[in-house]
């Protein structure tokens, strides 16, 4: 007897931080708006955390230096500091809405969640489309936030569909449509294929998912390593599947970003480090946990990893942690006078659940 068709829904809140700011101050709508992670040196030092679509029309995107964004944008653009705990609060409220649509749900990040709707809709993609429309409408009605939603037979496909539907869209990919849908996608549409990996694949003539399907497993293993090669092989065929369930207690939270160039310039590195800390703290907040240790991760141009860590008080404010990370990074460079940095990151560990108070006030803005 044939079982139910698998039905997975991926929810993605559009340009989340910037959209929250627009909702709470309608005067910002129609103007380029950039949410910034300031490194503390001056009012233009740091990186872009989120940008609305008006700003993106000028080429502004997350991870870009604020100075570069200022050079691209017109004078009426709005620049706002990131508000970590507030976005976490709004996120929790949205996720509570989504949770009512399926008992099988996993929060992926502060602005993403994945739901297994198979049982809820009896394997029907027609009913799943109704669920998705209701979910979008309820989030808009209750929180004034727009989101993009993808529905497909597994999480990877549902995420690709959600990305393809942006902004404020809904894309349904039924089982018999998977092959045709994938062949139209660029290779970096697959989750886990970033800029550097895409460039490596292009050297093999791979530009689309259809191209990727033709690459032998041995070649994929040379590019990705054995474990990731298996994921890429299956995902390119729409066959990578995984159960949707809440994650267990995390042991650590980390974020690593690639620098624009190999450098030892603290001004360049601090801006990226600030963005890493912002993302790591947001993740920690959504997990409802605190950290008792923080570490800096430095990856050199020779792909050597150097780490340093220290103890911190639980719920130490952002500015204090950033000051600690700057000192750790300064020590790394002082102890390694010849190295050039290629990537930097932040690691929060020694995690414990927050007791006696809401996670929403765990980090000051």
3-state secondary structure 265-293: CHHHHHHHHHHHHHHHHHHHHHCCEEEEE
| Polymer length in residues for the chain | 365
Angle in degrees, CA 131, 166, 30, rounded to 5: 115
126 is catalytic: no
Q: Tell me the C-alpha distance between 38 and 272, whole Å.
A: 10
Q: Quick one: pLDDT at residue 356?
A: 45
Same domain, 92 and 223: yes
What's the rounded Cα separation, in Å, for the pair 56 and 340? 31
Count of domains observed in the chain = 3
5 is written with which tokens?
Answer: 């068709």
- Is residue 169 domain-shared with residue 303, that is, in the same domain? no
Same domain for 228 and 92:
yes
Examine residue 241 and state whether it is found in any structural domain, yes or no: no
Q: Looking at the chain, list the stretches that DSSP marks H as alpha helix, in order from N- to C-terminal side.
A: 16-24, 53-56, 66-72, 84-99, 118-121, 125-143, 155-164, 178-183, 195-202, 209-212, 217-224, 226-235, 266-286, 318-335
**pLDDT confidence of residue 194:** 81
Q: How far is CA 167 from CA 12, 150, 170, in A?
A: 10, 12, 9
Same domain, 106 and 192: yes
**Residue holding tokens 């750790």?**
328
What is the Rg, in whole angstroms, of the alpha carbon atoms belonging to the chain? Answer: 21
Helix 84-99 crosses helix 266-286 at what angle (to 10 degrees)? 40
Q: Which domain holds residue 218?
A: 8-14+87-235
Among residues 112, 129, 270, 279, which one is catalytic?
Answer: 112
- Check whether residue 108 and residue 211 sit in a common domain: yes
Same domain? 300 vs 351:
yes
Among candidate residues 87, 89, 83, 91, the one with its CA nearest the CA of residue 12: 91
Tokens of 27: 């005067």
pLDDT for position 25: 96
Which residue numbers in the chain have pLDDT < 70? 1-2, 40-42, 247-249, 355-365
Residue 243 domain flag: no
CA distance 261 to 342: 7
Extract the tokens encoding 74: 């017109």
Query: What percentage of the chain has pLDDT greater than the value 90?
Result: 62
What CATH number did the domain enclosing 26 receive? 3.40.1170.60
**How do residues 67-114 score in pLDDT, each as one tens digit?**
999 999 999 999 999 998 899 899 999 999 999 999 899 998 889 999
Where does a domain end: 53, 83, 113? 83
Query: Which one of 55, 83, 111 terminates a domain?
Result: 83
pLDDT given at position 57:
96
| Residue 245 forms part of a structural domain | no
Q: Is residue 244 a part of any domain in this protein?
A: no
């Amino acid at each position: 007897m044939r079982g139910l068709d698998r039905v997975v829904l991926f929810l993605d809140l559009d340009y989340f931080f910037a959209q929250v700011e627009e909702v709470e101050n309608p005067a910002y709508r129609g103007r380029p708006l950039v949410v910034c992670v300031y490194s503390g040196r001056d009012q233009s030092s740091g990186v872009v955390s989120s940008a609305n679509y008006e700003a993106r029309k000028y080429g502004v995107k997350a991870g870009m230096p604020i100075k570069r964004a200022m050079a691209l944008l017109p004078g009426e653009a709005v620049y706002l500091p990131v508000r970590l705990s507030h976005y976490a609060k709004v996120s929790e409220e949205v996720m509570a809405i989504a949770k009512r649509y399926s008992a099988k749900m996993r929060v992926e990040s502060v602005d993403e969640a994945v739901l297994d709707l198979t049982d809820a809709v009896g394997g029907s993609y027609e009913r799943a489309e109704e669920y998705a429309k209701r979910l979008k409408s309820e989030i808009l009605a209750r929180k004034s936030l727009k989101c993009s939603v993808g529905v497909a037979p597994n999480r990877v496909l549902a995420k690709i569909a959600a990305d393809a539907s942006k902004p404020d869209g809904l894309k349904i990919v039924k089982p018999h449509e998977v092959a045709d849908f994938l062949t139209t996608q660029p290779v970096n549409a697959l989750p886990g294929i970033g800029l550097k990996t895409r460039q490596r694949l292009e050297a093999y003539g791979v530009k689309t998912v259809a191209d990727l399907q033709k690459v032998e497993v041995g070649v994929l293993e040379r590019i990705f390593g054995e474990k990731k090669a298996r994921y890429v092989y299956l995902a390119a065929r729409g066959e990578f599947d995984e159960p949707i369930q809440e994650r267990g207690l995390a042991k650590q939270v980390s974020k690593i970003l690639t620098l624009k160039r190999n450098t030892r310039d603290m001004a360049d590195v601090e801006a990226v480090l600030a963005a890493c800390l912002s993302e790591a703290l947001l993740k920690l907040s959504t997990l409802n946990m605190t950290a008792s240790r923080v570490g800096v991760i430095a990856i050199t141009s020779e792909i050597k990893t150097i780490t340093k860590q220290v103890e911190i008080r639980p719920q130490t404010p952002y500015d204090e942690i950033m000051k600690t990370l700057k000192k750790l990074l300064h020590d790394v460079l002082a102890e390694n006078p010849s190295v050039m940095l290629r990537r930097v990151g932040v690691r929060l560990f020694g995690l414990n659940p927050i007791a006696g108070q809401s996670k929403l006030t765990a980090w000051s803005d």
